[in-house]
Amino acid sequence: MKILVTGSKGFIGKNLIAELRNRKYTDIYEFDQDTEPAHLDEYCKEADFVFHLAGVNRPKEQSEFMDGNFGFTTILVDTLRKYKNTCPVMISSSIQAELDNPYGESKKAGEDLLFDYGVETGAKILVYRFPNVFGKWGRPNYNSAVATFCYNISHELPIHMNTPDVVMNLVYIDDVINELIHALEGNENRDNLFCKVPMIHTITLGEIADLIFSFKKSREEKSVPNMSDAFTKKLYSTYLSYLPENQFSYDLKMNVDDRGSFTEFIKTPDRGQVSVNISKPGIIKGNHWHHSKNEKFLVVSGQGIIRFRKIDSDEVLEYFVNGEKMTVVDIPTGYTHNIENLGETEMVTIMWANEAFNPEKPDTYFLEV
């Protein structure tokens, strides 16, 4: 299948082309504002499907709205008509097509032109009125508040909000691309004349800013956002894509003593805490028990033994562990336990606890195994 993508270097275009290639579509005609105009003839002659994503939304003069949106759509339609190519055409419109402003009027004119073309030729027309689209590769300080906030906050630049209570309707770029692939395959989500993208998220501008600030702070707190919330999960992925390239990494505090070290990695309010424990050869750590706190130990390097004893019993249970065989050991409540490095090198253990450590309520009681 030969696919023409106009606006190929734009936000949606870049994401769409990347996914088309992931899905092994190889005949992709990329057309953007710096493409030699003569190529459009060849592309319109050969295309089996057109994704018309090109448009203008931030011109120097308002007259450019109509030239860039309606005008180029006219050229595209005329060129398809010239070669009697009635392949399906998808157009990226906007919810502002319902509004009385120059941008909305130009988008509405492009829609009407394509609808008329569809009636005339029988070509399948797919019109999507997108709300605000967010995700990786969006252009900050251009036309997306989400992209601007993610970029500025991650780069420690100020953000400006005149109306933090304004309600935003947003759709995530991956959801847009999945729908466009469905349209390509003939399974578009249609609602009468218009097609639509599922999973529109409604949230205020101030709430978006608060979330992004919390993402930045999460490194200091060793926390991760609530990934069970669909919008938070998508916004966090978006935020990470705007990190300065020299700040992908960050240091953790290692609590070091003569036995080895203990480093907290991730803390969550509802999924517990993950830490990395390093023990030197011959070292025993632990010898304590818990009422409600429970843990999972996974030795990933070295070899050792984990011992258990029920606090009202003399029987000692032993589990031998090593990094050659990944074995998770549950640490039940009511059992005092320890872990000993039996090897000649450091032993590294990943430890998960069902709750983040609270020094005021440690639920940890010393007792030799």
State phi, psi for 170 to the nearest 5 degrees. Answer: -130, 155
pLDDT recorded at residue 152: 97
The overall average pLDDT reported for the chain is: 94
* Total domain count, the chain: 3
Q: How far apart are CA 116 and CA 110, in angstroms?
A: 10
> Is the per-residue pLDDT at 223 higher than 90?
yes
Clarify whether residues 267 and 283 are in a common domain: yes
Beta bridge partners of 190: 195
Given a cut of 80, whether residue 143 has pLDDT beyond it is no
Is residue 108 classed as helix, strand or coil in its secondary structure? helix
Between residues 188 and 69, which one has the greater pLDDT?
188
Tell me, what's the pLDDT at 331? 97
Q: 122 and 141, same structural domain?
A: no
Domain housing 324: 254-366
Within this chain, do residues 263 and 242 fall inside the same structural domain, yes or no? no
pLDDT of residue 95: 85
Which of the residue ranges 40-49, 57-66, 124-133 would you say has the lowest mean pLDDT?
57-66
92 near 128, Cβ under 8 Å?
Answer: yes
Residue 176 lies in a domain: no
The pLDDT tens digits of the residues spanning 285-310 come to 999 999 999 999 999 999 999 999 99
**What does the pLDDT average to over 334-360?**
97
Q: Is 239 among the domain residues?
A: yes
For residue 120, the surrounding DSSP H or E stretch is helix 102-121
Q: Are residues 92 and 138 in the same domain?
A: no
Among residues 218, 250, 282, the one where a domain terminates is 250
Q: Please provide residue 158's backbone torsions phi and psi, each rounded to the nearest 5 degrees.
A: -70, 155
Sequence letter at residue 1: M
Residues 266 and 323 in one domain: yes
Q: Give Cβ neighbours of residue 10 (< 8 Å, ≥ 6 apart).
A: 32, 53, 54
Cα separation, 287 vs 306, whole angstroms? 10
Amino acid present at 95: I
Sign of CA dihedral 26, 28, 34, 36: positive
Shared domain for 242 and 261, answered yes or no, is no
The residue from 81, 108, 130 where one domain ends is 130
User: CATH number for the domain including 281?
Assistant: 2.60.120.10
Q: Which of 234, 222, 295 is nearest to 263 (CA)?
A: 222
Q: Are 65 and 110 in contact (CB under 8 A)?
A: no
If asked whether residues 227 and 326 sit together in one domain, one would say no
pLDDT at 58 > cutoff 90: no
The verdict on residue 225 lying in a domain is yes
pLDDT above 90 as % of the chain: 86
Residue 301 falls inside a structural domain? yes
For residue 114, which of 95, 127, 102, 104 has the smallest C-alpha distance? Answer: 127
The answer to the question of residue 141 being in a domain is yes
Alpha-carbon distance of 116 to 118, in angstroms, equals 5
What own/partner pairs with CB < 8 Å and gap ≥ 24 does 13-16 have?
Answer: 13/51, 13/53, 14/137, 15/135, 15/136, 15/137, 15/173, 15/174, 15/176, 15/177, 16/51, 16/53, 16/177, 16/180
First to last CA, the chain: 68
Residue whose entry in the numeric block shows the structure tokens 């065989």: 325
Rounded to an integer, what distance in angstroms lies between the CA atom of residue 211 and that of residue 226?
A: 10
Last residue in a domain, options 250, 281, 308: 250
- The pair of three-digit structure tokens given for residue 155, joined into one six-digit string: 């780069």
Q: Which residues contact 183 (CB under 8 A, 6 or more apart)?
A: 88, 90, 126, 195
Domain check: are 221 and 105 in the same one?
no
**81 domain-assigned:** yes
**Structure confidence by residue, pLDDT tens digits, 1-44:** 999 999 999 999 999 999 999 999 999 999 998 999 999 999 99
pLDDT for 65 equals 59
pLDDT at 67: 59
**Residue 49's domain is classified under what CATH number?**
3.40.50.720
Q: What is the DSSP letter of 83?
A: T
Sign of CA dihedral 147, 55, 190, 192: positive
Residue 35: DSSP 8-state: S
Span 93-139, pLDDT tens digits? 888 778 777 667 888 888 899 999 999 999 999 999 999 999 999 99
**Catalytic residue numbers, as ranges:** 103
Same domain, residue pair 271 and 161: no
Using pLDDT thresholds of 50, 70 and 90, give the confidence band for residue 364: very high
Considering Cα of 233, then 238, then 241, then 246, what sign does the dihedral take? negative
Look at 332 and 191; give whichever has higher pLDDT: 332
DSSP H/E element including 153: helix 145-154
Which tokens sit at 313? 């019993």
323 is a domain residue: yes
The secondary element (H helix, E strand) that includes residue 287 is strand 284-289
What is the average per-residue pLDDT within 40-60?
85
* 116 and 12 in a common domain: yes
Residue 66 confidence (pLDDT) above 60:
no
Residue at 179 is within a domain = no
Instruction: Say if residue 142 is in the same domain as residue 77.
Output: no
126 backbone dihedrals φ, ψ, rounded to 5°: -120, 110
What is the rounded distance in angstroms from the CA atom of residue 349 to the CA atom of residue 326? 11
Co-location of 114 and 220 in the same domain: no
